[in-house]
C-alpha cells in the first residue's frame, strides 16, 4: 500500500494540519517509506489471535456517582488563548 | 561544596538525615550546577526556588524529627509531567507558556515524599524521538564526547534526553523519565546511567502529557540501581484517577534490594542477535552474560519469535494512539493558537501546523492513516493481534526463566544530526527496547561498559510483570560486577 | 404494520424509519468525571479538568451510568453484554475538547431488544432495538453573542448519554411518535432518563428512506437532533415527501446529514456532501473493558420497577379496568404512581371507580388548569378521602363534584370542606319526608296529574325536593320516600 500526494493531503485534512506543497512533497516519500516497512506485519499469521485489550491483567473500576469536581471555571479558563464572559471564544462557526 | 553533586540519591538522603550536610547546601550546589550546565540545554525551566523551599522544609523536618523518604533530595522533572504553576510544554511549541493548575500524580508523590524540583527537563517533543532533537527548545547535548578529539556534540538519546544528560552531568542526582518505547532505557544507556520502566500501571499516568496511552509509563533515571529503587518506590502506587493504574501495594524495593541472584535463570533471546549491530554491542552483552554467570545465575538461551515484528507493531499502535491523544491540541482551551484563514477549520489547521514539529506531525499522519476508513483491520487490528503474540512470547519464556538480558540499544550515542534525515533509521534505535514496552513488562538499563570511542553502553534486564524486584536485583548484580565508574569530563 | 403511504405521481411509497435516540442518563456526576450534570448552571462552572481535556487528564467510568444503561436494556428485554468496551470517535469540533468522543462502537453494553408500541384503535406493534451504548455528550456553542466569535460552554461536555438505536422497523410518523413516547415512558419508569425533551435530555436522530412497497430499502438521510415528538413526526413527514419528490423527478437521494427547522417545518442539508466523515474509531486505551459481574446484573434486575406493559396488563386483568383506562393510567410513571397511591388508600375494590374518577374528573381538572399530575393541587390522599365520602354515601355525585372544585381552589381536605360548608348529604328520612310533604302541599295540580297517570312528573318532584334540600339529600332516599308519598 502506498500513499500519493492526494492521500497525504486527505490525511492532513483529517488530522487538521495545514500542509504546504513542499511539505506534501517531503511527506509523501517519508510516509511511504515508513508504511512500506510496517507492511511486513501482514506476513504474521494471526489466525485465532485476539487483539490486545489490556497489556497487564487489570479490572476496570467504577467510580461512585458523586459530584466531587468542577466549580473551577477560573482554572478551566486559565490557559485559554481567548476567553470571554466565562466562555472559550473561537472563530465563528457557521452551522 | 561542589562534591555534594557527586552524591547519589541514597547518599544525599542519608547525609541529610545524619546531619553530614544540610538539604539547603545540597540544593544550592545543584542549583549552581544547573546554571553552569546550561550549555547542555538539559533544562527548559529552572526552578531553584522550588528546590530551596523543599530543602528548607527538609532541614526543618530533620530538626523536628519528621524526615520523609526523599527529604533533602532535589530532582529534575521531565517536562512531560504537569507541574502546578510551572510551565509544562512536553517539549512542544504547542504548549508554550502552558502552566497547569494541577500537579501530576507522580511528581506530586515525589514532592510529598520530600523531594524538591530543580527544574523541568528537556525532551523530544511529546516524547516522540530517540535523540532529543525533536524538542522545540533545541536538542539536549550529551555530556559525553568521543575520544577521537573531534568534539562532535552527541545525542543523549530520547525522549528523556534532558533527564539523561542532567543526571550524567550531575545537574541533578535523579530525574523522572517516561518510557513509551524505550525513552528511559535508551537515553540511560547512551549516557551511562541507570533507568527503569516499571510494569505498565505501576506509576499513574494522571497528569503526564499522553503520547501513547497503552504504552506510556513513568520511571526514574539515576546514577545507580539503588537510587532507581528508591525513586521508583516513591513514584509508584495506585491512583484511582488512572483507570489503568495497578491496584496493588508498592513493595519495599530498596529494603529488599540484593545483588544475590544465585540460582536465578536468565534468558538470552536469540532473536536479539541481529545483523548490522556493532560487534562491541555483542561483546558487552557477552560480558554481561559472563557476569551474570559469575553471580551464580544460570544462563538459558530462549526464543522470542515475534521480536522482529515488535518495531512495526509499535509504529502502528503508538502513532495511532498519539494521533487521537494529540487531537486536544486545537487552539481552543490552552496552548498555542494561530488564527489561520477560513474560520474554525483554518484556525485548527494553522495552529496544528505551527504548533507541532515535524516528527510529531509525521506520527500524527501515520496514526491517522492507519486508523482511517478501510485500513483499521489491516493495520491497527493486525498490530494489536501481533502485540498479543509478542506478549505471549514473553509469557512462555518466563515459564522457563526469571529474567531476560539483552543490549539496551543497537549502538552507542550517535552525533546530533546523524539520523534526523532518516526517520526509519531513528526508529530502529529502539529495536531492543520496544518489545518489553508492548508487553507492559518491567525493564531496566544499567551501564555495562564503554565502546571503542569511549562511549557508554547499556544492558537491559526484562522481568516478569510486577517483578521489579527481580529486575533491580539483577541490575545490582550486574552493576557490582561492571564497576562502571566512568563519567563524562566536564567541558561545559 | 402501518398502511401509511405517500401518494406520489408514480404510485404509492412506503416510508422506512429508524431512530437513534440520545437519552441523558440520570446521574449526579458525568460519565468519566466528578463534575455535576445539573441543568442550567453558569457557563463552564460544571467542568472538571478532565472534561476540558487538559493535558494528562484521564477518564474514570461512573458506575451509576453503567447501571442505568444495563437497567434500561433489561427493561426492553435486551441482550446485556457482560463484556463491553469504550471506543474513541475522532473528529474536531470546538465543543469536543478531547478531539474525540468516548463512545461504544464495537462492543456496546446492550444488544438487541424490543419495544411494544400502542397505535390508534388499540393495535400494537413491535419495534426492534439494535443496541444501546453509552457515550459522552458534547459541550454547547453559542453563535449569536459576538459578531465574529462563537462561544463554547463545556458544562454538558462529558455528561452521560445512552444512544438507543432502533431497527428500521417504523413505517409512519405515527409509529415513530408512538415509539418515542413509549421509549420515554419506559426510561422514566426505569428512572434512567428524565425524558425532558425541552431541556434536551432526550433527542433523536431520525433516519428516513422511502421505497415502493416490496422493494429493497432506499438510501436514507439522517436528520439530527430533533427534540420533540411533534418535530420528529413533522421531520419524517417532510423528509419522506421530499424524497418522493426528488425520486419522482428522476433524482437520487444522497446519504447525508440534515437539520430540522421547526419554524419552517422543513429539513435541510447540514454538511456539504463531499466531506466524507472518517471517525477513525479505535478502543480507548485509557480505559479497560467493562466486565459486569453476576451480582451487579442481579442487582440491576432486582431494582427494576413494574414496567408499563406489565402494569397495564395487571390493571386490566387484576383490577378489571378497561383497556382505555389501563392504557391512560400506565402511560406515564407519575400517573401510575399517583393512581396507586390513591388505590392504596381506597382499597383495590374501588379500582374501577377510582380509575373513572382519575381519567375523567381529575384529568379534566388538570387539563383545565394546565397542570400535570405531579403538581396536581389535589393529593392522592385527598382524592382517596373524597372517593370514600362518596362511597359511604356522605356525598352525592353532584356534591362530590362541588367539593372537588373547592379542593382544587383551596387545597383543603374534602372532610374539612364538607364539615365547614355543611355539604354533607342527608339520608335523614324525617327531614326528607317533611320537605316532601311541603312540596306535595305546594303543588296540588301536579300531584293530581301524577296520580291521574302522568308518571313523568316523578322527576319534577325529585327535582323540587333536591332543590329544597340544596342538593344535599341522598337521591336514593328521596326516590324511595317520594314513591311512598305519591302512593
Going residue by residue through chain B, which has 492 residues, state the pLDDT in tens, using 9 for 90 and above.
448 999 999 999 999 999 999 999 999 999 999 999 999 999 999 999 999 999 999 999 999 999 999 999 999 999 999 999 999 999 999 999 999 999 999 999 999 999 999 999 999 999 999 999 999 999 999 999 999 988 999 999 999 999 999 999 999 999 999 999 999 999 999 999 999 999 999 999 999 999 999 999 999 999 999 999 999 999 999 999 999 999 999 999 999 999 999 999 999 999 999 988 999 999 999 999 999 999 999 999 999 999 999 999 999 999 999 999 999 999 999 999 999 998 999 999 999 999 999 999 999 999 999 999 899 999 999 999 999 999 999 999 999 999 999 999 999 999 999 998 888 889 999 999 999 999 999 999 999 999 999 999 999 999 999 999 999 999 999 999 998 889 999 999
Q: Which residues contact A57 (CB under 8 A, 6 or more apart)?
A: none
Examine residue C217 and state whether it is found in any structural domain, yes or no: yes
Has residue A42 got a pLDDT over 90? yes
Same structural domain, C30 and C173: yes
Q: Who among B243, B324, B344 is closest to C58 (CB)?
A: B243
Q: Of B22, B71, B78, B194, which is the active-site residue?
A: B78
- B314 at A interface, C-beta within 8 A: no
Instruction: Note down pLDDT in tens along chain C; length 487 residues.
Output: 578 999 999 999 999 999 999 999 999 999 999 999 998 899 999 999 999 999 999 999 999 999 999 999 999 999 999 999 999 999 999 999 999 999 999 999 999 999 999 888 878 999 999 999 999 999 999 999 999 999 999 999 999 999 999 999 999 999 999 999 999 999 999 999 999 998 889 999 999 999 999 999 999 999 999 999 999 999 999 999 999 999 999 999 999 999 999 999 999 998 654 456 899 999 999 999 999 999 999 999 999 999 999 999 999 999 999 999 999 999 999 999 999 999 999 999 999 999 999 999 999 999 999 999 999 999 999 999 999 998 888 888 888 999 999 999 999 999 999 888 877 777 778 888 888 988 888 998 988 898 888 888 898 988 888 888 887 788 888 888 888 888 7
The residue of chain B nearest to residue A90, with distances taken between CA atoms, is B332
Examine residue C344 and state whether it is found in any structural domain, yes or no: yes
Across the strands, what pairs with B395?
none
Same structural domain, C395 and C472: no
CB contact under 8 Å between B313 and A50, yes or no, is no
What would the 3-class secondary structure string for chain C be? CCCCCEEECCEEEEEEEEEEEEEECCCCECCCCCCECCCCCCCCCCCCCCCCCCCCCCCCCEHHHHHHHHHHHHHCCCCECCEECCEEEECCCCCCCCCEEEECCCCCCECCEEEEEECHHHCEEEEEEEEEEEEECCCEEECCCCCCEEEEECCCCCCEEEEEEECCCECCHHHHHHHHHHHHHHHHHHCCCCCCCCCCCEEEEEEEEEECCCCCCCCCEEEEEECCHHHHHHHHHHHHHHHHHHHHCCCCCCCCEEEEECCCCEEEECCCCCCCCCCCCEECCCCCCEECCHHHHHHHHHCCCCCHHHHHHHHHHCCCCCHHHHHHHHHCHHHHHHHHHHHHHHCHHHHHHHHHHHHHHHHHHHHHHCCCHHHCCCCHHHHHHHHHHHHCCCCCHHHHHHHHHHHHHHCCCHHHHHHHHCCCCECCHHHHHHHHHHHHHHCHHHHHHHHCCCHHHHHHHHHHHHHHCCCCECHHHHHHHHHHHHC
Same structural domain, C399 and C359: yes
Query: Cell 473561537 sits at which residue?
Result: A90
The pLDDT score that the predictor gives to residue B2 is 47
Same structural domain, C60 and C162: yes
Examine residue C465 and state whether it is found in any structural domain, yes or no: yes
C-alpha grid cell for residue B199?
510494569
**Domains and their CATH numbers in chain A:** 5-42 (1.10.20)
Same structural domain, C291 and C322: no
**Which residues from chain C sit within 8 angstroms of residue A53, using beta carbons?**
85, 283, 288-289
Query: Do residues B244 and C289 lie in contact, with contact meaning Cβ atoms separated by under 8 Å?
Result: no
**Domains and their CATH numbers in chain B:** 1-492 (3.90.1300.10)
- B243 at A interface, C-beta within 8 A: yes
What ipTM, to 2 d.p.?
0.97
Examine residue C366 and state whether it is found in any structural domain, yes or no: yes
Examine residue C323 and state whether it is found in any structural domain, yes or no: yes
Query: Do residues C176 and C236 lie in contact, with contact meaning Cβ atoms separated by under 8 Å?
Result: yes
Q: Which of C297, C321, C346 is the last residue of a domain?
A: C297
Same structural domain, C279 and C325: no
- A54 at B interface, C-beta within 8 A: yes
Same structural domain, C132 and C252: yes
Examine residue C1 and state whether it is found in any structural domain, yes or no: no
Give me the number of domains chain C comprises.
3
| Radius of gyration from C-alpha coordinates of chain A | 22
Same structural domain, C289 and C328: no
Same structural domain, C444 and C417: no
Q: Chain A window 9-38: which residues touch B at a Cβ cutoff of 8 Å?
A: 11-12, 14-19, 27, 30-31, 33-35, 37-38
Same structural domain, C293 and C314: no
Same structural domain, C404 and C434: no
B214 is known as an active-site residue: no
Q: Which of C297, C328, C350 is the last residue of a domain?
A: C297
Q: Report the residue of A64, A76, A79, A86 to disrupt the C interface, i.e. the one with the largest count of C CBs within 10 Å.
A: A76
The pLDDT score that the predictor gives to residue C1 is 55
The pLDDT score that the predictor gives to residue B443 is 98
Three-state secondary-structure class, residue B154:
strand
- B322 at C interface, C-beta within 8 A: no
Examine residue C389 and state whether it is found in any structural domain, yes or no: yes
Q: Chain B window 358-417: which residues touch C at a Cβ cutoff of 8 Å?
A: 368, 371-373, 376, 380
The pLDDT score that the predictor gives to residue B1 is 43
Supply the CATH number for residue C464's domain.
Answer: 1.10.10.410
Examine residue C382 and state whether it is found in any structural domain, yes or no: yes
Domain span including residue C452: 429-486
Same structural domain, C291 and C316: no
Amino acid at each position: 500500500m502506498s500513499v500519493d500526494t492526494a492521500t497525504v493531503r486527505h490525511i492532513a485534512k483529517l488530522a487538521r494540519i495545514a500542509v504546504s506543497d513542499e511539505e506534501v512533497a517531503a511527506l509523501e516519500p517519508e510516509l511511504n517509506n515508513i508504511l512500506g516497512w510496517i507492511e511486513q506485519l501482514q506476513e504474521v499469521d494471526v489466525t485465532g489471535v485476539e487483539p490486545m485489550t489490556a497489556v497487564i491483567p487489570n479490572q476496570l473500576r467504577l467510580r461512585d456517582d458523586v459530584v466531587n469536581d468542577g466549580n473551577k471555571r477560573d482554572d478551566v479558563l486559565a490557559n485559554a488563548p481567548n476567553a470571554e464572559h466565562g466562555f472559550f471564544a473561537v472563530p465563528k462557526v457557521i452551522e | 561544596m561542589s562534591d555534594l553533586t557527586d552524591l547519589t540519591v541514597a547518599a544525599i538522603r542519608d547525609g541529610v538525615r545524619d546531619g553530614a550536610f544540610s538539604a539547603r547546601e545540597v540544593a544550592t550546589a545543584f542549583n549552581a550546577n544547573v546554571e553552569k550546565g546550561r550549555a547542555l540545554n538539559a533544562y527548559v525551566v529552572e526552578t531553584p526556588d522550588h528546590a530551596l523551599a523543599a530543602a528548607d522544609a527538609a532541614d526543618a523536618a530533620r530538626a523536628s524529627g519528621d524526615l520523609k523518604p526523599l527529604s533533602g533530595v532535589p530532582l529534575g522533572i521531565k517536562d512531560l509531567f504537569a507541574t502546578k504553576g510551572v510551565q509544562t510544554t512536553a517539549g512542544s511549541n504547542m504548549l508554550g507558556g502552558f502552566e497547569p493548575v494541577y500537579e501530576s500524580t507522580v511528581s506530586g508523590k515525589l514532592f510529598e515524599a520530600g523531594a524538591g524540583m530543580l527544574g523541568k527537563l528537556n525532551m523530544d517533543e511529546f516524547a516522540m524521538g530517540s535523540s532529543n532533537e525533536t524538542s522545540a527548545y533545541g536538542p539536549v547535548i550529551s555530556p559525553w564526547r568521543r575520544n577521537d578529539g573531534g568534539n562532535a556534540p552527541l545525542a543523549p538519546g530520547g525522549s528523556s534526553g534532558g533527564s539523561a544528560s542532567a543526571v550524567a552531568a550531575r545537574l541533578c542526582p535523579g530525574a523522572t523519565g517516561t518510557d513509551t518505547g524505550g525513552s528511559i532505557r535508551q537515553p540511560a544507556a547512551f549516557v551511562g546511567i541507570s533507568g527503569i520502566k516499571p510494569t505498565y500501571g505501576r506509576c499513574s499516568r494522571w497528569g503526564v502529557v499522553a503520547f501513547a496511552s497503552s504504552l506510556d509509563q513513568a520511571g526514574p533515571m539515576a546514577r545507580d540501581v539503588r537510587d532507581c529503587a528508591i525513586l521508583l518506590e516513591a513514584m509508584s502506587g495506585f491512583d484511582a484517577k488512572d483507570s489503568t493504574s495497578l491496584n496493588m501495594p508498592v513493595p519495599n524495593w530498596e529494603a529488599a534490594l540484593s545483588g544475590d541472584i544465585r540460582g536465578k535463570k536468565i534468558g538470552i533471546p536469540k532473536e536479539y542477535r541481529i545483523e548490522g549491530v556493532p560487534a562491541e554491542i555483542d561483546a558487552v552483552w557477552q560480558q554481561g552474560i559472563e557476569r551474570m554467570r559469575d553471580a551464580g545465575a544460570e544462563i538459558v538461551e530462549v526464543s522470542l519469535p515475534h521480536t522482529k515484528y515488535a518495531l512495526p507493531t509499535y509504529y502502528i499502535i503508538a502513532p495511532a494512539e498519539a494521533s487521537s491523544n494529540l487531537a486536544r491540541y486545537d487552539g481552543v482551551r490552552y496552548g498555542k493558537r494561530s488564527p489561520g484563514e477560513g474560520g474554525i477549520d483554518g484556525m485548527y489547521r494553522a495552529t496544528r501546523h505551527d504548533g507541532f514539529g515535524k516528527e510529531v506531525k509525521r506520527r500524527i499522519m501515520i496514526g491517522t492513516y492507519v486508523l482511517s476508513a478501510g485500513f483499521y483491520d489491516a493495520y491497527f487490528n493486525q498490530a494489536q493481534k501481533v502485540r498479543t503474540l509478542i506478549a505471549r512470547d514473553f509469557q512462555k519464556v518466563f515459564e522457563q526463566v526469571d529474567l531476560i538480558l539483552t543490549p539496551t540499544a543497537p549502538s552507542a550515542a550517535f552525533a546530533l544530526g546523524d539520523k534526523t534525515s532518516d526517520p526509519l533509521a531513528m526508529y530502529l534505535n529502539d529495536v531492543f527496547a520496544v518489545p518489553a514496552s508492548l508487553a507492559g513488562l518491567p525493564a531496566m538499563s544499567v551501564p555495562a561498559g564503554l565502546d571503542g570511542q569511549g562511549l557508554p553502553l547499556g544492558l537491559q534486564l526484562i522481568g516478569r510483570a510486577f517483578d521489579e524486584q527481580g529486575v533491580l536485583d539483577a541490575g545490582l548484580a550486574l552493576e557490582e560486577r561492571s564497576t562502571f565508574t566512568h563519567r563524562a569530563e566536564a567541558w561545559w | 404494520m402501518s398502511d401509511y403511504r405517500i401518494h406520489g405521481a408514480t404510485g404509492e411509497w412506503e416510508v422506512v424509519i429508524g431512530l437513534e435516540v440520545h437519552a441523558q442518563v440520570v446521574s449526579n456526576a458525568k460519565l468519566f468525571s466528578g463534575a455535576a450534570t445539573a441543568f442550567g448552571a453558569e457557563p463552564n462552572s460544571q467542568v472538571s479538568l478532565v472534561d476540558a481535556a487538559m493535558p494528562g487528564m484521564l477518564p474514570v467510568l461512573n458506575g451509576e451510568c453503567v447501571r442505568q444503561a444495563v437497567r434500561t436494556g433489561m427493561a426492553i428485554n435486551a441482550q446485556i453484554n457482560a463484556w463491553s468496551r469504550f471506543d474513541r470517535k475522532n473528529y474536531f469540533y470546538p465543543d469536543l475538547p478531547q478531539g474525540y468522543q468516548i463512545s461504544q462502537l464495537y462492543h456496546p453494553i446492550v444488544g438487541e431488544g424490543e419495544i411494544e408500541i400502542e397505535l390508534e384503535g388499540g393495535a400494537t406493534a413491535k419495534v426492534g432495538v439494535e443496541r444501546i451504548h453509552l457515550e459522552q455528550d458534547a459541550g454547547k456553542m453559542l453563535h449569536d453573542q459576538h459578531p465574529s466569535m462563537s462561544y463554547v460552554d463545556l458544562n454538558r461536555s462529558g455528561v452521560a448519554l445512552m444512544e438507543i438505536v432502533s431497527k428500521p422497523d417504523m413505517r409512519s410518523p405515527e409509529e415513530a411518535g408512538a415509539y418515542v413516547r413509549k421509549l420515554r415512558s419506559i426510561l422514566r419508569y426505569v428512572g434512567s432518563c428524565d425524558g425532558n425533551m425541552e431541556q434536551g435530555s432526550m433527542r433523536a436522530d431520525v433516519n428516513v428512506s422511502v421505497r415502493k412497497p416490496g422493494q429493497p430499502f432506499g438510501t436514507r438521510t439522517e436528520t439530527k437532533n430533533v427534540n420533540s415528538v411533534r418535530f420528529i413526526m413533522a421531520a419524517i413527514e417532510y423528509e419522506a415527501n421530499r424524497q418522493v419528490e426528488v425520486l419522482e423527478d428522476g433524482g437520487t437521494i444522497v446519504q447525508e446529514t440534515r437539520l430540522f427547522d421547526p419554524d419552517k417545518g422543513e429539513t435541510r442539508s447540514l454538511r456539504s456532501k463531499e466531506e466524507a466523515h472518517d471517525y477513525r474509531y479505535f478502543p480507548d486505551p485509557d480505559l479497560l473493558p467493562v466486565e459486569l459481574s453476576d451480582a451487579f446484573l442481579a442487582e440491576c434486575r432486582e431494582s427494576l420497577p413494574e414496567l408499563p406493559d406489565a402494569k397495564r396488563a395487571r390493571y386490566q386483568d387484576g383490577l378489571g379496568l378497561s383497556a382505555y383506562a389501563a392504557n391512560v393510567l400506565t402511560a406515564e410513571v407519575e400517573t401510575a404512581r399517583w393512581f396507586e397511591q390513591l388505590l392504596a388508600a381506597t382499597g383495590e375494590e374501588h379500582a374501577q371507580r377510582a380509575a373513572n374518577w382519575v381519567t375523567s374528573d381529575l384529568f379534566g381538572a388538570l387539563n383545565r388548569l394546565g397542570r400535570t399530575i405531579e403538581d396536581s393541587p389535589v393529593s392522592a390522599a385527598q382524592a382517596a378521602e373524597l372517593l370514600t365520602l362518596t362511597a359511604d354515601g356522605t356525598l352525592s355525585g353532584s356534591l362530590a363534584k362541588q367539593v372537588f372544585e373547592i379542593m382544587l381552589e383551596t387545597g383543603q381536605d374534602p372532610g374539612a370542606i364538607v364539615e365547614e360548608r355543611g355539604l354533607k348529604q342527608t339520608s335523614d328520612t324525617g327531614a326528607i319526608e317533611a320537605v316532601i310533604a311541603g312540596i306535595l302541599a305546594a303543588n296540588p295540580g301536579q300531584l293530581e296529574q301524577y296520580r291521574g297517570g302522568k308518571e313523568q312528573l316523578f322527576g319534577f318532584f325529585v327535582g323540587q325536593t333536591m332543590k329544597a334540600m340544596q342538593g344535599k339529600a341522598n337521591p336514593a332516599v328521596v326516590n324511595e320516600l317520594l314513591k311512598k308519598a305519591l302512593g
